[in-house]
Amino acid sequence: MKDSEKICLTPAQRLHFDIYGFVLLENVLSSDEIERMKGALYRMKADEDLDAKRVYARPGGEHHVLFGNLVAYDPALLAYAAHPKLVPLVEEVVGGAVRLEETEAIINSRNPETPLDELHKRRYNPTGFHRGTQHGWGTYIEQNKFHCIFVKTLAYLTDVGPDDGGTCVIPGSHRLTWDQREMIEAALSDDKLIYQVEASAGAVLLFAEALIHSTTAIRSDKERVILISGYTPPMVREWPGNEVSPEFIETLPEDIRPLISGSDSWHWKRRY
C-alpha cells in the first residue's frame, strides 16, 4: 500500500484525539460483523467451559460480566482485534507498529439493586474511573502530535443512548500529570467536566489509556454489549491473563501473526 493510500485519521479526528484523548469513529463495523461478534459473545456467555478455552470471565452480579483473552475463541473476535480499518489508526496514535495487548468484552444491563431515582440524581453515574498509563511515562509528543503507547478500541455492538451506559471520560486528562484521585474527585464534583459517549451500533471509540475513563451505570432496560482491544508497541508484554497460546499463533496467517504474538519485539521504530 502506498503512503497516499494509508488509512489515517482525518485532521479533524486527529485534532479531537489530541485535545480530548478520544475520538468516536462512526460506521466502522458492518451489520454482518456486528451480528457475528455479538453471536460469539453470547455463545461465550452461555459456555460453561471457558477455562479450557483460556477465556476468563469476571461476573459483577447477574447484570454484568466481563470476559477477557478472546481472540482464540471465535474468528469474529480475532477479526475485530486485527481489523484493517482500526489497526492503522491505532498505529498512528501509538506512533509505530503495535501488538495486541489485551482483548475484553462486557455484557451488562441495569443493576436491579440500584433504585432508578438514585441514578437520576446525577447527570452521569460512572462506576469506576481509571486509566492504564499516564502522561509523562506512557505518552510522548512527536512532530507536534500526541502519542500514547497504550491505546484501545471499544466497539459498540448495541446502540448506546444517554441512559444506556455509554463510556464516561474526563476529556483532556490524557495530557495531565495531576494525581488521578484529585482529577476524579474534581470531575465528580462538577459533572460538566465529564463526557458520556453516545453511539450507534458499529461505531468504535478510539482512546488513549492515559485518558481517565469508566463504564457508566445503565438507567434504561437495554442490554449493552461492547468489545475492546488494547494495543501497545510490540516490546511491551500482554496484560496478565491475555497470553495467547503458541499453538493458536501457529495457525494464524503470517500477516497478522506479529500483531497477535508481539513477535516483532524490539524491532520498533517511530513512524508517525
The confidence score (pLDDT) of residue 270 equals 64
Digit-coded pLDDT (tens) for 40-60 = 999 999 999 999 999 999 999
The confidence score (pLDDT) of residue 47 equals 96
Residue 156 confidence (pLDDT) above 50: yes
Digit-coded pLDDT (tens) for 56-91 = 999 998 999 999 999 999 999 999 999 999 999 999
Measured CA to CA, the distance from residue 250 to residue 241 in angstroms comes to: 19
Asked if 24 and 203 count as a contact pair (C-beta separation under 8 A), the reply is: yes
The confidence score (pLDDT) of residue 106 equals 98
Can you read off the three cell numbers belonging to residue 34?
456486528
Digit-coded pLDDT (tens) for 94-109 = 999 999 999 999 999 9
Mean pLDDT calculated for residue range 176-181: 96
- Cα angle vertex 35, ends 32, 37, to 5°? 105
The confidence score (pLDDT) of residue 119 equals 93
Digit-coded pLDDT (tens) for 223-272 = 999 999 999 999 999 999 999 999 999 999 999 999 999 988 777 666 66
The confidence score (pLDDT) of residue 148 equals 98
Measured CA to CA, the distance from residue 76 to residue 79 in angstroms comes to: 5
Can you read off the three cell numbers belonging to residue 204?
468504535
CA quadruple 73, 232, 201, 253: dihedral sign: negative
Measured CA to CA, the distance from residue 169 to residue 196 in angstroms comes to: 6
Measured CA to CA, the distance from residue 234 to residue 241 in angstroms comes to: 17
Res. 1 pLDDT band, cuts 50 70 90: very low
Q: Nearest 5°: phi and psi at 73? A: -80, -40
pLDDT above 90 covers a percentage of the chain that reads 92
Measured CA to CA, the distance from residue 130 to residue 64 in angstroms comes to: 18
What is the residue extent of each domain of the chain? 3-261
The confidence score (pLDDT) of residue 272 equals 61
Q: What is the DSSP secondary-structure string of 218-259? A: --SS--EEEEEEEEE-TTSPPPTT-PPPHHHHHTS-TTTHHH
Which of 148-152, 168-172, 226-230, 235-239 has the lowest average pLDDT?
235-239
Which residues on neighbouring strands pair with residue 142, listed in sequence order? 145
Q: Indicate the Cα dihedral angle 240, 244, 247, 253, nearest 10°.
A: -160
Residue-averaged pLDDT of the chain: 94
Residue 158 confidence (pLDDT) above 70: yes
DSSP 126: B
The highest-level CATH class for domain 3-261 is mainly beta
Residue 4 confidence (pLDDT) above 70: no
Which residues on neighbouring strands pair with residue 139, listed in sequence order? 148
Measured CA to CA, the distance from residue 155 to residue 4 in angstroms comes to: 27
Mean pLDDT calculated for residue range 11-29: 98
Which residues on neighbouring strands pair with residue 145, listed in sequence order? 142
The confidence score (pLDDT) of residue 2 equals 44
